[in-house]
Amino acid sequence: MRSRSHDIAMAELYRSDPALAVEVINSILADGDPGELASVLRQLALLFEGMEGCDGIENA
């Protein structure tokens, strides 16, 4: 498992380059690695922490 600081760094990278996030997700989906997908989704979830108006996003 990667460290929290790595997750934060990746979240910041994905925030600055959304196309990279899409490319990474597509690559992981093509490879079929559920562990890697979970890691990237966790990193992307960090983008939404503390954002106003995101209440209930997990139910979307």
In a domain, 14, yes or no: yes
Give the chain's domain count: 1
In a domain, 54, yes or no: no
pLDDT tens-place string over residues 24-45: 999 999 999 999 999 999 999 9
Give 18's pLDDT tier (boundaries 50, 70, 90). Answer: very high
In a domain, 55, yes or no: no
Q: Which spans in 1-60 are helix H?
A: 4-16, 18-31, 34-45
> Alpha carbon of 35 to those of 16, 24, 26, 48, 50: distances in Å?
24, 13, 14, 21, 25
Query: What does the pLDDT read at residue 28?
Result: 96
Asked whether the whole model's pTM tops 0.85, one would answer: no
